Amino acid sequence: MQNIIDELSRCGFYGDEEGKIFLVGKPTRWSSFDVCKKIRTILREKKVGHCGTLDPHAEGLLIVFTAKKTKFVEKFSALEKEYIGEMILGARTQSFDLEKEIQPQSSAENISGAKIVETFSLFLGTQQQVPPMFSAAKVDGKRLYQYAREGMNIERKPRTIVVSKFEATDIDIPSVKFQIVCSKGTYIRTLVDDVGLRLGCGAYMKSLKRTRIGNLRLENALSLEQISQHFSRNQSFGPFKIAA
């Protein structure tokens, strides 16, 4: 697996006769499924999967696998993940991000930077987290967001997550920019909502970008346009080169 990681770090792509692996820079407004569907169309490949779902409002690094390389999904899913994002204090949404209507709460004007930093520190370490209703997690074979859109609130089992870093990088009330390093299965927007509840003013996630999965970084990722450009001319699995 190390040779695959080395090649992905070098050029954002690994391929052989068993399939392909891509580091993809997912744009906002695209679901992770949309990205897989696009690559399925570009490559005319039926079997395409990804690890580490990103919400449509989030952007950043997504790893996509094709054909027999989908056997690596679980191994890559287990890798540590890093994000940068921005939360807005003083309001909440049902989805904890911009998918749902913003609902004003209490003013955050009197909350100090020191209090915000202290609150962030409360969420470090191993903990239990309940998946949000507006998420792709399944209960009885049905996505939670499908229940939520029907106005239902389903009981969800908490999951064990690990947050190894959670730091405020810029505080300009009501905006708080942050960096977080965490385990798989962590819902960042749930943490943001929890921070808002702890502070007593509410909070929602304005933006999120995944910058790293394990040692694989967003700066080495390919755009969907680059992938399309290359494979429209070259269906080989040799070294990835962007077509001129």
Exactly one of 6, 16, 55, 140 is catalytic; which is it? 55
Strand segments (E) across the chain: 13-16, 19-26, 48-51, 59-66, 81-89, 91-92, 103-104, 125-129, 138-139, 142-143, 159-172, 175-182, 203-213, 216-217
**What was the pLDDT predicted at 207?**
98
**What was the pLDDT predicted at 138?**
85
| pLDDT 10s digits, 147-179 | 888 888 888 899 999 999 999 999 999 999 999
The answer to whether residue 236 scores a pLDDT higher than 60 is no
The answer to whether residue 77 scores a pLDDT higher than 70 is yes
Contact 64, 85 (CB under 8 A): no
CATH number of 81-212: 3.30.2350.10
Query: What's the pLDDT band for 234 if we cut at 50, 70, 90?
Result: low
Q: Which tokens is 49 given?
A: 């999967």
Active site residue 55: yes
Three-state SS at 159: strand
Task: Report the amino acid identity of residue 223.
Answer: S
Domain boundaries, the chain: 2-78+215-231, 81-212
Pairing of the two strands 203-213 and 59-66: parallel
* Superfamily classification of domain 2-78+215-231: Pseudouridine synthase (3.30.2350.10)
**What was the pLDDT predicted at 71?**
96
The answer to whether residue 3 scores a pLDDT higher than 60 is yes
**What was the pLDDT predicted at 155?**
87
**What was the pLDDT predicted at 187?**
95
**What was the pLDDT predicted at 149?**
85
Calculate mean pLDDT across residues 131-139: 84
Contact 26, 37 (CB under 8 A): no
Angle at 46 between CA 22 and CA 140, to 5 degrees: 95
**What was the pLDDT predicted at 235?**
55
